[in-house]
Amino acid sequence: MNSKVAPPGLTNITTMMCGSCSNENAFKSIFFWYAEKKRQGAPFTKEEMESCMINQAPGAPQYSIMSFKGAFHGRTMGVLSTTHSKYIHKIDVPAFDWPIASFPKYKYPLEENVRENKQEDEKCLAEVEDLIVQYEKKNIPVAGIIIEPIQAEGGDNHASPAFFQKLQAISKKHGAALLIDEVQTGGGPTGKMWCHEHFELESPPEVVTFSKKMQIGGFYHNPDFRPKQAYRVFNTWMGDPSKLILLEAIVDVIFKDNLLARAARVGNYMLKQLTTLQNEHPHLINSARGRGTFIAFDCATPELRDATVKKLLVKGIQSGGCGEKAIRLRPALTFTEHHADIFLDNLRSVLTK
């Protein structure tokens, strides 16, 4: 494992094929870890081995994973219970009774709304803790909490480093694992290899999932999350080893060409220019936000957002819609100020017309 790539403090990795199965098997590893703590090293009982075969407790316990409104963690059965971005992903599919907390909704610009946004953090964190207590009383204890460092499909929603620091403290207080889903944010677009590095957490999260820019899926985890028995986390390919050859070449270029610093620099440039642009057209766009080149802004209405995306596409620029009315930008790590200017000139042209 390349120590330049691994999230600081995490020493184990399990490879998978895609983001959904990375989160899915990370959930399983969290449940194994949680059950092992309760079992205190005792072997599986006959009752556990028999009851799990018919989906009954104690072998199939009622544990839960907390997630957040607006989240997207995948489309397979388990993770779909933690995905809350669009109804079309979920409709007609049975789901678990797992807690869903509110993700902070900030007012922009951040520097003008410090008090309100801090209150929003506190309100959402109080809800997290309240839900953990509620689900403990329902005998569906929270074994883990899954969260994106930036909610991508849900609208490029950000939360502060202080929010993530306090969320980690709550998870530790209640004996739950913190799983940070970096499927979208991992691999450098935020100006660091892993977005959660921006948050200055007191200790590493227990689990970090990845895919997309990393060419291969999987999750980093601390040693306690490695199952003690073989075949508990297993599938046909366990990831695609050939993709590691591609990833190795990509990582070499990232560090040789200092692309993380470039993403940070160009992202700052883009945000500054977007702020100017939204000040020119405050009735059309607002709330420019981002880390590195992982950037988004809101349009005044969902209809304006959809029209803007289409007009940009006619000009040869592919952007994307997310959330209710956001446009998100996902350029390659090789994106420069020159490319940013091309985008900004075309966006200004679309907004002016």
Going from the N-terminus, what domains does the chain have, and what CATH number goes with each?
A: 12-254 (3.40.640.10), 259-352 (3.90.1150.10)
| Mean pLDDT for the stretch of residues 219-243 | 93
Cα 33–chain centre separation: 22
* pLDDT tens per residue across span 132-180: 999 999 999 999 999 999 999 999 999 999 999 999 999 999 999 999 9
Sign for the CA dihedral angle at 148, 154, 156, 160 comes to negative
The answer to whether 72 is a known catalytic residue is yes
With bands split at pLDDT 50, 70 and 90, how would you rate the model's confidence at 2?
low
The one catalytic residue in 92, 137, 236, 353 is 236
| Mean pLDDT for the stretch of residues 300-321 | 97
CA dist 317 → 246, 262, 329, 338 (Å): 26, 21, 10, 14
| Mean pLDDT for the stretch of residues 289-302 | 98
The one catalytic residue in 72, 163, 199, 297 is 72
| Mean pLDDT for the stretch of residues 16-43 | 96
As a residue count, the chain comes to 353
The answer to whether 252 is a known catalytic residue is no
The answer to whether 137 is a known catalytic residue is no
Q: What is the pLDDT of residue 237?
A: 86
Q: What is the spatial distance between Cα 276 and Cα 326, in angstroms, rounded to a whole number?
A: 18
**DSSP of 172-219:** HHTT-EEEEE-TTTTTTTTSSSSGGGGG--SS--SEEEE-GGGSSEEE
Decide if pLDDT at 1 tops 60.
no
The answer to whether 298 is a known catalytic residue is no
The one catalytic residue in 68, 181, 293, 308 is 181
Decide if pLDDT at 267 tops 80.
yes
pTM of the model: 0.96
The one catalytic residue in 69, 118, 212, 311 is 212
Decide if pLDDT at 40 tops 80.
yes
| Mean pLDDT for the stretch of residues 334-340 | 98
